[in-house]
Copies of this chain bind each other. A is one copy, B any other.
Amino acid sequence: MKLASLRNGTRDGRLVVVSRDITRCTDAAFLAPTLQAALDDWTKYRPHLEKLAESLESGAVPSERFHEHEALSPLPRAYQWADGSAYVNHVELVRKARQAEMPESFWTEPLMYQGGSDSFLPPRAPIIMADEAWGVDMEGEIAVITGDVPMGASAAQAGEEIRLLMLVNDVSLRNLIPAELAKGFGFFQAKPSSAFSPVAVTPDELGDAWRDYKLHLPLLVDLNDKPFGRPDAGQDMTFDFARLINHAAKTRPLCAGTIVGSGTVSNKDPDHGPGRPISQGGRGYACLAELRTIETIQTGHPSTPFMRFGDRVRIEMKDADGHSIFGAIEQTLEKPEGNN
């Protein structure tokens, strides 16, 4: 089943069921007004939503064209956004570039930060930032939406509570990070509003690509219409989603509608030293910081700039047949209006 929240002038949008090929959708608001409402009582709503999805596929209900640019993030605002850093390779590289040692525990204990969840960007909305000098970067990630997870849930229990999957652009302000992390309280201003894919899908839609609580498909990241990254999200993911949720729930319950992120998808390139860009036959990167890290390791300094006003990032994932699963996040960096 695929779900989306369409722009309708409200804060949470209008819930629709989207066809498997994401070309059509049908109103689901008569069942549950919003995706959060559906998640709040998933056991009750899921069978009805699934029946509606079947009817949509068979043409048994009225439908409308699904336009990705009319979609909000599936949860336009959420009660929790907990972002892991499950591709430890990424963390190790970044540390290597600044010649900082990475504690061994990073391979056994997930790294996770509490993100802001009150104002997500629509997947086709611009990233509006007052200052290019903040070092705007994209971070291509996978995320899951959970049901209610009790405090202290095991990884196995936690895995049972995965309701939906999405893609994320976890926008990051790289040049604000060092000062903010130095204060010791984690990210705040350095992590502005994220954007999620137009469509959220249930794990069963992913077939074999969803196994071991990982999504085994390449994440397609383009920058200004050129391929920038094709890392496989199922590879080098040190902590699967069940483990990430288990980590998040150690000392408190998680409310239905909690979003847990994977962190920037990143693959090792063991045969060629650090990861290579796509132009050199590598898998490339899901964020600019990783390329800049590789450049720093190789030449002593980064040569690729962060995003400039007008730069456009696209994040998507396709199934084995080349069909877009979640629709595409596509965002341009823009100045606030009236700000020159």
A interface residue numbers (CB < 8 A to B): 11, 40, 77-80, 82, 85, 103, 105-106, 109, 111-119, 128-130, 134, 151-152, 173, 176, 181-193, 247-248, 250-255, 257-258, 336
Contact = CB atoms under 8 A, between A and B. Distances in A.
B115 A114 contact: yes
A118 B130 CA distance: 30
List the number of copies, as a whole number: 2
A79 B80 CA distance: 7
A176 B251 contact: yes
Contact of A185 (B111, B116, B117, B257): B111
B248 A188 contact: yes
Interface centre among A105, A109, A118, A181 (most CB of B within 10 A): A118
Contact of A114 (B40, B129, B187): B187
5 contacts: A80-B118, A111-B185, A114-B116, A119-B254, A173-B251
Given A85-B185, A187-B186, A188-B113, A118 B79 contact: yes
A79 to B, nearest CB: 4
Contacts of A128: 151
Nearest to A41: B11
B113 A185 contact: yes
Given A11-B255, A79-B117, 10 more contacts: A77-B79, A85-B185, A103-B182, A111-B183, A114-B116, A114-B186, A118-B258, A119-B254, A119-B255, A193-B253
A193 B82 CA distance: 14
A332 to B, nearest CB: 17
Nearest to A83: B185
Contacts of A151: 128, 130, 192, 336
Contacts of A186: 113-114, 184-187
B114 A114 contact: yes
